[in-house]
Amino acid sequence: MKLISTQNNIYEIRGSKVMFDFDLADMYRVETRRLKEQVKRNLERFPSDFMFQLTKEEWQEVIANCDNLPEGVKFSPSQPFAFTQEGVAMLSGVLRSPVAVQVNISIMRAFVAVRNVLTTTKEENMLPALINRIKALEEVSEETFTAINDLSEDTQKEFDDIYIALAELAAKHKQENKPRNPIGFRKPEE
């Protein structure tokens, strides 16, 4: 069993990393209903922090957001069981075949790998890098604002020059359009 394919079957529901009953049944090579039967017969081994059943809303959200679900599962009338890492470990006590033991070992390794990925990329590790990026962005934005301000001053000077030139042209045009004294004989007004 490949670790990567197992990691692809680990989801986060209610803040916990879980695997669904249909994926586990497929890995253990049993029918989903048989797995559920064994779990229901041994419910005392599966407290709510080991296993829970999804609500209709949660299941609809999973269907909407996950495109790697088996087709037949999407239209199932019942919501699946979700098993946490502890619940998967408890399944090995309920399902006692050699395949179940090997699958359980592989699943435990996948959960550990997912946990390692999450702990190595925590915010604490990313914080210094984010602080440096923010400082770099602040420096760039300061330079940009300074350049914009300089550009605004230059543009304002150019607008002032254009306004003065237009005012001079308007004054000159006003003088040119002044009515001229007529040339020649003027008839006296009566």
Domain boundaries, given as residue ranges, for the chain: 3-121, 123-173
44 has pLDDT over 50? yes
Q: Can you count the helices (H) and strands (E) in the chain?
A: 8, 4
Amino acid identity, position 120 = T
Residues in the chain: 190
pLDDT band at 68 (very low <50, low <70, confident <90, very high): confident
SS3 content of the chain, % helix, strand, coil (to 5): 65, 5, 25
**Beta carbons of 62 and 88 less than 8 angstroms apart:** no
17 has pLDDT over 50? yes
6 has pLDDT over 70? no
Our CA angle for 71, 74, 79, nearest 5°, is 140
> Given this structure, which CATH class describes domain 3-121?
alpha beta
Question: What does pLDDT average to over the chain?
Answer: 79
Q: Which residue has the higher pLDDT, 119 or 63?
A: 63
Mean pLDDT to the nearest integer, 46-55: 89
Helix axes 98-120, 21-28, angle to 10 degrees: 130
Over residues 157-172, the pLDDT tens digits come to: 888 888 898 888 888 8
Separation of alpha carbons 1 and 93, rounded Å = 20
Please give the pLDDT value at position 4: 47
